[in-house]
Every structure is written in structure tokens, then in C-alpha cells.
Amino acid sequence: MQSNIAAVVNQDYLWYNSSTGNANSSQESGAYIFRPNGTYPVTKGAPQITVTKGRWVQTAVQIWNQWLTQVVRVYKDSPLIEVTTRVSPIDIRDGLGKEVVSRFSTNIQNQGRWYSDSQGMEMIERVVDKRPNWPAMQFSIQEPESFNYVPMNQAAFIRDQQIQFGVITDRSHGCAGLKEGSIEYMVQRRTLRDDERGVNEPLNETITLYTTSLLSLTSVADAQPLARAASLRFANRPTIAFQKINGPIATWGKGKVLSASGLKAALPGNVHLLNLRTLEDGKVILRLHHIFSSDEPAPLSQPVTLDIANLFQDFSVTQIEEASLTANKLRSSVQRLTWKASEAQPPKYQFSPLRGSLVTLRPMEIRTFILQTKKAL
């Protein structure tokens, strides 16, 4: 966390009682339908906490109840807090289905607004009890939890004018900001009735679930650059391997290549090498992604130009052709539909064609190229 940022943040684990139908509707909560009937804490008191302090990481193990445990890790010099939740089979001996959420309550004045990502791309503003994109529709909200829950595939946050509190996740969750200064996400569900939407069985999950999230508390200006980079690292964690060696590592490492990169230099901070795939006859598919949206802080949210011919260490590029996103046809052969508009409007998106080996990526843009290559001398 940033040392010059302060806010009150409290966490609670709660469970929604899965509805089995009521006087208003016989609809039950299940695999496709989230219909809660009451909210309850997972424990009556504070969790049992054990703290371990080390040189590089401090760890707090929190036992909330017999089936829910959380491990909080704070790494040295990291602006993020790591939270790993373990949920063993949820206790249903009381005959109640339970849908477990992690809720963070803060003193941030977010005016009933929170933000979640759309498929890991743009962040969408959500407003409690509102549908901003459907202004003409009038809603009679009988079930606020169901109405306000939305997908969170990568991240969600709340903010005021100065401070932003965010969650980065390792998988998709449902999330909502039901109360002022709060944000929550669904951790695990165990329902006991079928919702009659095609599965033909209750969502009676009995697995032991592990899920990890990263928490951030930063200034609004610094929040999205931190979150975008952290989300990429979190989703593309390295595979770690070990080998037994004899003698000192300095001796063992002589004559060995212990560090290497396929790139000549690091990519700009707003560009992600999304895919690099070898085809036949020296051809390679390259996908590049501009990871910032246009409404996020400059200069990372501005267009960026790369020289594809000067990216790679192990091979040289002799020809570049842009392809469709899926690389099943060349872009030059794609015929776009022309839509008739009632009024002439300037296009919101201006395509920037390849200039030799130079490509310009605009915010959120993903572009695919087929490269002809040969091994570098």
C-alpha cells in the first residue's frame, strides 16, 4: 500500500441464504439464478488469527470457521496485499443453501458507484440500483442483490476524488457495491435446490476451493497503471522449476545461460505481447495488445508505435502481413459491411495501417500479424 494514502478498510465474510421460493415468487436460487434470502456472517465473533513476520513477507492466517480460512500476505516493498481464501465444503447441516461473499467496507465516498472490467478490457461504471445504459427503462427493484451483481473477470474497484480501493482476481467472480464505500465478490456457492434452468440438479458444490486476490489502496492517479500491470503479471505467473545441484551455485553456473530473453528490449509499459506462435515454413503469428483504455492516465493511455522488425532477438523479420484477429485470413481480404446512418458522423475509431514494419496501437487495440522470419545470424 502507498505510505501517503490512508483509509479505513474492514473485511467480512458473509453468506447469503439461497432462496427456496417465497410468496413473491417460487423461483429458487441455483446454478443460473442468484436469489438470496437474508445475509449472515460466517462466524459470530472475530476470526482466529496467527501472524508470522519474516524478512521478505508478513503472513496472517485467519480461521473464520471450520470450513473457511484466509491467508493474508504482505510482501516487502509491494504496493499490493495478497489474499488467499480456502473454502472446504460449506456446512449445510442446517438445511440452508449458502452463497459466500467477501465484503470490504471502507470510508471512501464512492457515491454508489463501483467499476468492474468487461472481459479484462475496459472498466465499466456501475451505479447501485441503476442501469445507466438503459435510461428509458423503469425498474421496480424487489431484489437489490440480484439486480446489482455483475461479472468481475479481472478487477473491480471503488473510488472517490482522491483514493481508490481495488481488487484484482485470479478468476471470474460476481461482484457488487451494495452499500456506500463497500465492494464485495462471490467466493463460493452451495445451493440445495435446482433453479430449473437446464442443469436439472442443485449447485451442491463439495470441492475444496482456493482462490487468490490482490488488494490495492492507492491514489486515483496511480491506481490504473498499477492495476493493469499487476493484472497481467497475476494472470501470467511464471512456472517455477527446481533442480538439485552439487557444489556452490557459482561453480555450477559457469558456462550455462542462466538468463535470456527473446526480445531485444522490454516492450513499452502499455503493450502486452499477447501471443507468439510458430507456424510452418518460418512463419510466426504475433498478437500485440494495448492494455490501457483511452480514459485512463496519460501517457500510458495514448497510442504507441512499435517497430516489429526490431523486436526479436533470435530471428529476423523479412515480411509482415496484418491478419484478422483470429489469423484465419489476411486483413487485406476482409470486406467490412458499410452501415447506413441517418446522420453523417465522424468515425470514433481511426485505423492506422502498417507503415513498413511500424505499427501504431491505439488504446485497448489488439492486432494480429503473420511474420515471415529467418534465424538471426
What's the gap between Cα 255 and its chain centre? 41
288 lies in the same domain as 173: no
pLDDT digits (tens, 9 = 90+) for 107-153: 999 999 999 999 989 999 999 998 877 777 777 888 999 999 999 99
User: How far is Cα 39 from Cα 99, in angstroms, rounded to an integer?
Assistant: 9
pLDDT digits (tens, 9 = 90+) for 6-34: 899 999 999 999 999 888 889 999 999 99
* Exposure b/e, 2-36, CB count within 10 A at least 16 = b: eeebeeebeebbbbbbbbbeeeeeebbbbbebbbb
Instruction: Say if CB 181 and CB 107 are below 8 A apart.
Output: yes
Task: Tell me, yes or no, whether 181 lies in a domain.
Answer: yes
95 lies in the same domain as 193: yes
pLDDT digits (tens, 9 = 90+) for 167-216: 999 999 999 999 999 999 999 999 999 999 998 999 999 999 999 999 99
132 lies in the same domain as 15: yes
Q: Which has the closest alpha carbon to 294: 348, 345, 347?
A: 348
CB-based contacts of 161, cutoff 8 Å, min separation 6: 220
292 lies in the same domain as 172: no
Which residues form the domain of 76?
Answer: 9-235
Q: Which has the closest alpha carbon to 114: 186, 39, 178, 187?
A: 178
74 lies in the same domain as 156: yes
Task: Tell me, yes or no, whether 29 lies in a domain.
Answer: yes
Alpha helices, DSSP H, located in 159-298: 220-235, 249-252
Instruction: Say if CB 258 and CB 252 are below 8 A apart.
Output: no
Residue 79, preceding bond cis, omega within 30 degrees?
A: no
Number of folded domains that form the chain: 2
Domain boundary among 235, 254, 289: 235
Instruction: Say if CB 324 and CB 250 are below 8 A apart.
Output: no
